Structure formats: structure tokens, C-alpha cells
Structure 1
Amino acid sequence: MLNSFNKDVRVLFLDPLPSTAVEIFRTSGFKIDECFEKLTEAQLVKKITEYNVVCLSYQVWSQAACYWSLWQNANCVDLEVAQSMGIPVFTSPFQHQGSVAEITISFIVLLARQIGDRSKEIHTGEWNKMSAGCTEVRGKTIGIVGYGQVGSQLGVMAEALSLEVVFYDTQSVMPMGRAKARKTLDEVLKESDYVALNVTSTPENVKLIGKRELGLMKKTAFLINASYGEAVDIDALAEAIKAGTIRGCALDAFPNQPNGKKAEFKTHSKDLRTCDITVEGEMRVGTEVANALVNNIKLGSTVGTANFPSISAWPLKPGTRRIINVHRNVRGVLQEIDYILSSYNVGKQILDTKESLGYIIADIATEEVTTEIVSQLALLAHTVKTRIL
């Protein structure tokens, strides 16, 4: 397939996006259309075929030339299908990390002081001033499961509240502040008054916390999940709270979100449920993803993609044209590409692969690229897409 973005780039917004992203696209000369109403799958497929870029916050599937997922991760996108079609999926998994750490700290205080219950009571005219079950957080222990970008920030914030910090991570990582690493997840569960999950969406983390793990926690402990919804067995959690195995929980991530089944977790007075998003975090996400996507269209850069090899493209020099080839990563394909390019003066070339996909950028010292070279690359058996800049 041959693609070129020399003409106007058309962008479709399927969800309202941050003003920072809108401004970046407009400054780049892109034409923006909006479609916020609910569409059937057939209507959606027909709609997006008219656009080069599709921008969204939640879940759709696209055959457009580019694809943008605005959320913290790409759980709502079939990355394997998008990759096979040569569609890069842009995400911003780290710009919300401060917001997630903050809301976890908020959960700890809210749960310890039963603020959710007291607020509901006062709103219904009931004045129930009581200290039973309300505790201070200082001196308590928070166990962080997953000590990465969010987990390490959370540990620093927790120490500011005089919490003791222990953590478990599958990787060997350097502790921040006075945090102490534990060798196993079980150690963290047994020791902690608050267990905070900050794990990624991998198969190994599905139902990481189930009936057995909940049974290891203190009866006075709380479970907090603000990362990956599938990491907690919701049915086991509901039963653990009902049986008094643990004291309560706070959830900011749910299985099958955003369309999780409401009946999976009936209301308990000992749980808090929210959906965290901040203006600052959303703005940072919008800026990062929009800039990454513009760099992909104008330079061929793939930094910020979830399903492509990450290549930071360089500015295109005067008197050169850039060939971008997306191909299946199979034996012999690079030899075929190099054979075609060998007839030209290639000034700079870079190749990287990710899983079954290969991505090559080659700058050719010529003002004009003949139809022959483009056709030759596009017609290779393992070529997915070829672009010219």
C-alpha cells in the first residue's frame, strides 16, 4: 500500500480532546472534524475511512492511516490487528502518573477516616460524629505492588504523610527515600495496612490479587487499585469485604472498562470507587500524543507508539526525500529493500523491528523520487505500507 501525506491531513475526533491537542493539530495545518455521537460498527467503519488520523479516548477500531488512543494505555485497541495493518497506535502512559499517585494518597486518608460514609450521612441529615474505626495514617505501612513510574512517586508522597513504605516489583529497582524492597508479593500483603496496586496490563497481572492473596492481608487492611482493572478478582474482593477478610477497598480501575458490568461488585459501605482524571494530566497527555503524531506524519518518527518500533526521526535536509517502509519482519525482506535502494544515493538509513513488524527510514539525496522506486517498494510481498516525505 502506498501512502503520502503531502496533501491535507484530515483528523477525526471521536471524543472531546484537550485544547492543547487541538491547537497543535491546527498549527500543523491539519483539518479537524468532530463526531461525538454514538455510531454502529458499520457507521464507524464507513466514517473513519475518510480520515488519515482518528483520535479518541475510549474504544473503537479503525482502518485509517494513523490511529491515536488518548488514554493512559492502549487497552481499548487491538494492537496486533493495528500493527498488521501498519497503523501506529499512539499513547501516553506516563503523563498521568502524578495524578494516579495523588489519588492513591487521597484514598488512603478517605478510607482511614471513613470520610465517604460520614459525607453521605451528613447529606441525608444524619450527624454521626464517631471515632470508632477511624485511624490516623501516620506510622502505618503502605505496600506498593509495582514500583515503577507511579509506584515510586507514590512512595515519596506516602513518606511525606509519615507512612512506612515497602514494595514489591518483579524487576530489581532502586528504592526512593526510605522505601524498602520485599522479595515476594506475599511479604508485602502480610505486612501492609494499605496495599496499592500499580501494575501494567500484562497477562501475568490478570487477577494478580485473588482469594488467596486477599486472605494473606490483615483484617484491618485496605486494598487500593488505581492501575489495571483486570489485576483484581472483583468477585473475590467483594466476598473478602463481605466476610471481613479485609477492611475495605478503593478502586479507580475496573475490569472491562469503560463498559464494566455494574453487577460485578455490589455497593459496600467499605469501598470507594472513582474514575481519576485531572485537567493537568489530560493536558499533558494531549500535548505529548499530538506532538508525537505530528512528528510521525511530518518526519516518520514512531516515538510514543504502542505497537511500532520506537524510532526518533531527524529533520529532513534540503535536497533529500525520505522513504518510509513498513514491512513484515521476515527473513530476506531487508535484502530486498536494500537491493532497490542500492541504485540511489542513500544519505542516512535506520531500521528497527518490533515483534512481526519492521520499520525503515531512508533519506535519498534527490529532489524527486521516481515512480519506479516507490512502486518497487510498494509491490514487495512483505511490504505493508510505503510513504514518501
Structure 2
Amino acid sequence: MDLLGVRSKTNVTRKVIDARPTLTAVGCFCIGTNQVDLGYAGKRGIAVFNAPYSNTRSVVELVIGDIICLMRRIPAHTHHMKHGMWDKSASGSHEVRGKTLGIIGYGNIGSQLSVIAEALGMRVVFYDIEEKLAMGNAHRCGTLNELLEQSDVVTLHVDGRKSNIGFFGDDQFAHMKQDAIFINLSRGFVADLDSLKRHLDSGHLSGAAVDVFPVEPKKTGDAFTTPLADEDNMILTPHIGGSTLEAQKSIGHFVAQRLEDYWFKGSTMLSVNMPQITLSDIRSTCRIAHLHANLPGVLAHVNRVLGEDNINIAAQSLGTEGELGYVVTDVAQRPDQNALDALAAIEGTIRMRVIS
């Protein structure tokens, strides 16, 4: 097996990698790569690809839908109707126009959400630990509390780094505005749901939407419990933020294309664990992809081996990232086996592959 495709629930551990010495690349047909031991895969010369942008629109649309439904108290009205209660009151119901949306995490999803929310007439503020270019009229807050204290809706769009575990707890909920709405479609371990429940039950917060949970069932049909199940103005969804047919199709095409480009061209662009090199189609006789430890002199050694075999170099690209170096060389003729063996024997070589 040379190429492996997985979804988010399939773990590619050290044991799995060791069991397949010929494994060259892993395609994660999903957004995250937490299920893959990225460090060990890199040390074994295995490129890992995912689809970080393919479900962005789907997630953003669900957030917008959640905001409108919660502002109009649709979950509460639906609950009352199902129990035979007719309540036509406008109490607690609002337009989204003119309200302030606070986005925590201004990456691909957060920034696109910013644009669409502004188009609905919302005022947008955001907070990110990194400097990010504001879209439209969005305003960057200097602190998290600055965002929380002015936002009518707070939505989380942070990544899965360990420092985000338990990031949003009782102290953060306490800083939110009276009657504000909380939304989390990012990671289940980010927000403390018990704290959220307390702030909903106390009347501090007016509603919430949660799509991700600290512990989630492994498959469709499994039992699920949450302390938020009995809340009134609450939207609970089973981690479906990116689950649209359009997003799934996009993910399939995107990851398959990355695997194809790596296998047939050696291109590592958008790999999560390899130096980034974008390569065109092979126009010479063959291409030599040499992945190695990022040590001084490897490139010179590669060129010396090719020169000693009277091989003319047509093109060459080098990229380094962390502990890894990756040099791709197009040559006018295929080196003989002795030269290939010499390339594979260069100190620090992790994987050497001839593409033709």
C-alpha cells in the first residue's frame, strides 16, 4: 500500500505506519489531522494532506442560521408549539441587523463569517492571538474581554491546539453581555458546557448553539447525552457544521488532487507535515524526490552524485521546514542504479523516490 485515505475517526498511529513500510502519503478526507501522528509520519517520509478550506462555506452558513434562529427564539417557540402552547409574543426576539457579532478565531471560517454577517447588517468585532487582516468594517479587539463585553453573539472558531483545551469557561461566560448568545462550532474541548448551562439557567445568557462536544459518539445511531438537552432556547447539532453534500464533494476532490500531485509530481503544496514545494508536470526524462533530515550539505551531496554519473540537471527545487528538507531534481536522463543507491545512502536520507 502506497497511499492511504482516512476520515476523522480512523487513527493513523505509529503502529499503523510501521505496519506499512511502503506507505508514501496519507490523505485525510476531512478538515483536521489530529487522527494522524504527524511527527512520526514526517520522520518516516510520509506526506499528510487534508482539506482545511473545503467546508468553510457550510460552517459559516450554519452559524448564520443559528444566529437568526436564536435571535428569534425559534428553538423555544418550536418547543412550545410541540407541547400545545401558542405564544405569539415578540418578547426576547430581535432582528440581527444592528447587533454586534464577536468572532473568536479569525481564520478561514471566522473571516468569511465576518463578511456575510456584515452583509446582514451586523457589526463585527473579532479577537485572534495572531495579527489578522480585518475584512470589511470588522474591528479587531485587543483583548478577549473587550470582545465579550460588547458582543450580542459570541461565536468560537479556534483550532485544535492543546492550549485551547478548556479555553472558554466560567470566567469568559461571566464577561459576556446580559442576554447574549453563545455559539460553538469549532472544537468540543474548547468550551465548558456545565458553565454554559449555569449561565443559561440563571438567565444571564438568552440562548446557545453547540455543534461539537467533549465526548462524541463514534458512529451514527449511538446514544448521546449532554447537560444542555433540556435548555429552552438551545440548538444542538451532531457535529454537522461541515456536513453538506457540497462540502463532502469538495473535500473528496481536494484531497484526491493533493495525493495525485504528490504521487505523480512530487508536489507537497498544502501538506501539513512536509516542506512546501509546488511542482509542474514532469517535462524531462525523470524526477528525483529526495526527503532528508535538514542538515547542511545534503543538496551539494545530491548534485555531486548526479554529476559523477554525468547526469544533467534540468530543474531543481529545495524546501526546508523544521527538521525536514526536501529537494526535487528533474534530470535529462535516468541515473543508473549505482547513482540511485548513492542518493539513497546520503547521510540523513529519509526517503528517495524516482518519479517518471
**Fold match by TM threshold 0.5:** yes
Letter in 1 for 2:346: L
Of 83-92 and 109-118, more deviation after overlay is shown by 109-118
2:5 is aligned with 1:55: yes
Amino acid at match of 2:268: T
Aligned partner of 2:186 in structure 1 is: 227
Partner of 1:31: none
In structure 1, C-alpha distance between the alignment counterparts of 2:257 and 2:217, rounded to whole Å: 26
> Where does residue 127 of structure 2 map in the other structure?
168
Q: Residue 290 of structure 2 aligns with which residue?
A: 325
1-side partners of 2:7 and 2:212: how far apart?
A: 15
Amino acid corresponding to residue 355 of structure 1 in structure 2? G
Task: Report how many aligned residue pairs link the two structures.
Answer: 337
Q: 2:251 aligns with which of 260, 282, 285?
A: 285
- Structure 1 residue corresponding to 2:58, chosen from 76, 85, 99: 99
Which secondary structure does the structure 2 equivalent of 1:142 belong to?
A: strand
Paired position in structure 2 for 1:186: 145
Contact 2:167 2:190 in 1 (8 A): yes
The 3 A distance-change label for structure 1 pair 79 and 239 is: farther
* Whole-Å separation in 2 of the counterparts to 1:350 and 1:190: 50
Q: Which amino acid aligns with 2:72?
A: R
Report the Cα distance in structure 2 between the residues aligned to 1:381 and 1:243, rounded to whole angstroms: 65
Shift of 1:117: 3.0
Supply the distance in 2 between the matched residues of 1:377 and 1:253 (Cα, whole angstroms).
48
Q: 2:332 is matched with which residue: 351, 365, 382?
A: 365
Pick from 112, 129, 133: which aligns with 2:71? 112
Residue 313 of structure 1 corresponds to 279
Report the more deviating stretch, 259-268 or 179-188: 259-268
Decide whether aligned partners of structure 1 residues 185 and 273 sit closer, same or farther in structure 2, where only a CA change above 3 A counts: same
Q: Is the contact between residue 50 and residue 255 of structure 2 (CA under 8 Å) also seen in structure 1?
A: yes
Is this contact kept in 2: 1:289–1:304, CA < 8 A? no
Partner of 2:315: 348
Distance 1:190 1:316, change over 3 A: same
* Farther off after superposition, 91-100 or 331-340: 331-340
Q: Quick one: percent identity of the two aligned structures?
A: 34
Q: Secondary structure at the match of 1:186?
A: helix
Counterparts of 2:190 and 2:102, CA distance in 1: 16
1:1-389 equivalent positions in 2, closer than 5 A: 51-58=1-8, 59-61=10-12, 62-63=16-17, 64-123=23-82, 125-255=84-214, 259=218, 262=224, 265-267=227-229, 268-274=231-237, 275-276=240-241, 277-318=243-284, 320-343=285-308, 344-366=311-333, 368-389=334-355
Q: How many angstroms does 1:91 deviate by?
A: 0.8
Q: Distance in 2 between matches of 1:189 and 1:297?
A: 47
3-state SS, counterpart of residue 174 of structure 2? helix
Q: 1:124 to 1:369 in 2, by over 3 A?
A: farther
Q: Distance in 1 between matches of 2:300 and 2:264?
A: 27
**Are residues 236 and 82 of structure 1, via their aligned partners in 2, closer, same or farther at CA, if it must alter by over 3 Å?**
farther
* Matches of 2:30 and 2:301, distance apart in 1: 38
Shift of 1:297: 0.6
1:304-337 CA-to-partner distances (Å, cap 9, x unmatched) read 211111211122114x211111222234444443
**More deviation in 258-267 or 128-137?**
258-267
- Indicate the SS of the match to 1:166: strand
Tell me, yes or no, if the aligned pair for 2:299 and 2:327 is still in contact at 8 Å: no
CA distance in 2, matches of 1:186, 1:365: 61
Structure 1 gap segments, 5+ residues each: 1-50
Between the aligned partners of 2:198 and 2:224, the Cα distance in structure 1 is 16
Task: Point out where structure 2 has 5 or more consecutive residues left out of the alignment.
Answer: 18-22
Deviation at 1:300, TM superposition (A): 0.5
Matched residue SS, 2:278: coil
Distance in 1 between residues matched to 2:150 and 2:195, nearest whole Å: 20
Q: Specify the code of the residue in structure 2 equivalent to 1:273.
A: L
Deviates more, 1:195-204 or 1:80-89: 195-204
Letter in 1 for 2:329: A
Pairwise CA distance, 1:197: 1.5
Q: Which moved more, 1:373-382 or 1:62-71?
A: 373-382
1:235, 1:264 within 8 Å by CA — same for their partners in 2? no
Please state how far the C-alpha of 1:263 moved relative to its aligned partner: 5.0
**Structure 1 residue 76: deviation in Å?**
2.3
Change (3 A) 1:265 1:76: farther
Partners of 2:350 and 2:199 lie apart in 1 by 50
Following the alignment from structure 2 to structure 1, what is the Cα–Cα distance between the partners of residues 306 and 217? Answer: 47
Cα distance, 1:176–1:56 mapped onto 2, change above 3 Å = same
TM-score by length of 2: 0.86
Which range moved further: 253-262 or 87-96? 253-262
